[in-house]
C-alpha cells in the first residue's frame, strides 16, 4: 500500500467541511500519521470563519475499521496519552457542530471518533464494535467514560466485555446513533441536518454545545448572554420570525472568548 493511500481528505462546500477517512486497503483504519494529522486539520477548519459545521465520514462505504496496530509497542507505552486519544479529544473540543456519517464498519478507533462527534447518523448497513477485549488492550479511560455517558454503563460494559459487533438498529435503540437511514438516503439526510444547523444562530449553537458538554462555567454562560445583547442576534431572530423570512444572524465569534479553552473558532 502506498503511503498516499492512507490519508485524511478535506472538502469544504459552503459552510460545511467534510473530512474523509481514506485508507481503502485497510477498510479505512487510522494509521499513526492520520491520527497525528487530525488535530492540526481540525485547528485549521475551526479557524476558518466560513466553516460552520464538520462532517466526518469514511471512503468507499466504510466509516473506519479501527486503528492500525502496526506499532503495538508505541500504543502500549502511550496508554491514555496516545495519539488516538489526543485526536479524539481535539474532535470533542471542536467549537463547531460535528456529525459522523457512518456506513459499514465503525469499529474500535472508528467508534472512538464517531462517539467524539456531536451527532451520529448511520446507514442501515453500519456495524459497530469496541474490540479491546479481543486484543488484550485497555480502552482509554476518556473514551470509556464518553461511551458510558452516551449509551449508559450497562450497554458500555456489554460492548466492552463481549467485543461483539452490533447492527445499526440496535445501535439506535441503545443511543449509540441518533438516526438510521437507508444507505442511499444517508447523504441527503446529512446534508439536510447540516443545512439546518448552519442556518441557525451560530451564537445559540456554539453556546448550546459548550453548555451541554460541561465546558461553560458561570462566567462563560454570563459571557454568552452578554453576546446575545451586544450582537443583536435575538432581535434579528424575533424580527425574522415576525416577518416570516429567513433570519440574517449577525453574530460571528471573536477569536477567543473569556474562559474558552478550545481553538480560535
Each residue's pLDDT tens digit, 85-102: 999 999 999 999 999 999
* Cβ pair 1, 25 in contact under 8 A: yes
C-alpha cell, 210: 459548550
Q: Tens digit of pLDDT for each residue in 201-252?
A: 999 999 999 999 999 999 999 999 999 999 999 999 999 999 999 999 999 9
C-alpha cell of 11? 472538502
Spatial neighbors of 236 by CB under 8 A, at least 6 apart, are 247, 248, 249, 250
Phi, psi (deg, nearest 5) at residue 42: -65, -35
* Per-residue confidence band for 259, with pLDDT thresholds at 50, 70 and 90: very low
Cβ burial 173-184 (10 Å sphere, 16+ → b, else e): ebebbeebbeee
Match 473540543 to its residue by C-alpha cell: 93
Position 257 scores a pLDDT of: 43
User: 108-128, pLDDT tens digit by residue?
Assistant: 999 999 999 999 999 999 999
Q: Which of 123, 32, 22 is nearest to 75 (CA)?
A: 32
Q: Which residues have a Cβ under 8 Å from the Cβ of 97 and sit 6 or more positions away?
A: 52, 53, 54, 118, 119, 194, 197, 205, 209
Band (67; pLDDT cuts 50, 70, 90): confident
pLDDT at 220: 97
Bigger pLDDT: 225 vs 79: 225
The pLDDT score that the predictor gives to residue 101 is: 98
Instruction: Please say whether the beta carbons of 67 and 106 come within 8 A.
Output: no
Model-level pTM greater than 0.75? yes
- Cβ(20)–Cβ(57) below 8 Å: yes
What's the grid cell of residue 181?
437511514
Report the C-alpha gap between 62 and 127 in whole angstroms: 10
What is the pLDDT at residue 162? 98
**Is residue 191 within 8 Å of residue 198, measured between CB atoms?**
no
pLDDT for 75: 60
Average pLDDT over all residues of the chain: 92
Percent with pLDDT over 70 in the chain: 90
Using the predicted structure, report yes or no on whether residue 2 has a pLDDT greater than 60.
no
Amino acid at each position: 500500500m502506498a503511503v498516499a493511500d492512507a490519508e485524511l481528505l478535506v472538502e469544504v462546500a459552503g459552510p460545511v467541511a467534510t473530512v474523509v477517512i481514506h485508507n481503502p486497503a485497510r477498510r479505512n483504519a487510522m494509521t499513526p500519521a492520520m491520527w497525528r494529522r487530525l488535530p492540526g486539520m481540525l485547528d485549521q477548519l475551526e479557524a476558518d470563519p466560513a466553516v460552520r459545521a464538520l462532517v466526518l465520514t469514511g471512503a468507499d462505504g466504510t466509516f473506519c475499521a479501527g486503528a492500525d496496530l502496526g506499532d503495538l509497542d508505541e500504543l502500549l507505552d502511550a496508554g491514555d496519552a496516545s495519539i488516538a486519544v489526543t485526536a479524539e479529544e481535539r474532535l470533542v473540543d471542536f467549537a463547531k457542530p460535528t456529525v459522523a456519517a457512518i456506513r459499514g464498519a465503525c469499529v474500535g478507533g472508528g467508534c472512538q471518533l464517531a462517539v467524539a462527534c456531536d451527532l451520529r447518523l448511520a446507514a442501515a448497513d453500519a456495524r459497530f464494535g469496541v474490540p479491546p477485549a479481543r486484543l488484550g488492550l485497555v480502552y482509554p479511560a476518556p473514551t470509556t467514560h464518553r461511551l458510558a455517558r452516551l449509551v449508559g454503563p450497562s450497554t458500555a460494559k456489554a460492548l466492552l466485555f463481549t467485543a461483539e459487533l452490533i447492527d445499526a438498529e440496535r445501535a439506535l435503540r441503545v443511543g449509540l446513533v441518533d438516526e438510521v437511514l437507508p444507505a442511499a438516503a444517508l447523504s441527503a439526510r446529512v446534508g439536510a441536518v447540516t443545512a439546518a444547523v448552519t442556518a441557525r444562530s451560530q451564537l445559540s449553537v456554539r453556546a448550546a454545545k459548550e453548555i451541554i458538554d460541561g465546558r461553560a462555567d458561570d462566567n462563560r454562560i454570563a459571557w454568552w448572554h452578554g453576546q446575545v445583547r451586544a450582537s443583536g442576534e435575538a432581535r434579528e431572530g424575533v424580527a425574522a420570525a415576525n416577518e416570516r423570512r429567513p433570519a440574517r444572524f449577525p453574530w460571528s465569534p471573536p477569536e477567543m472568548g473569556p474562559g474558552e479553552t478550545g481553538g480560535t473558532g
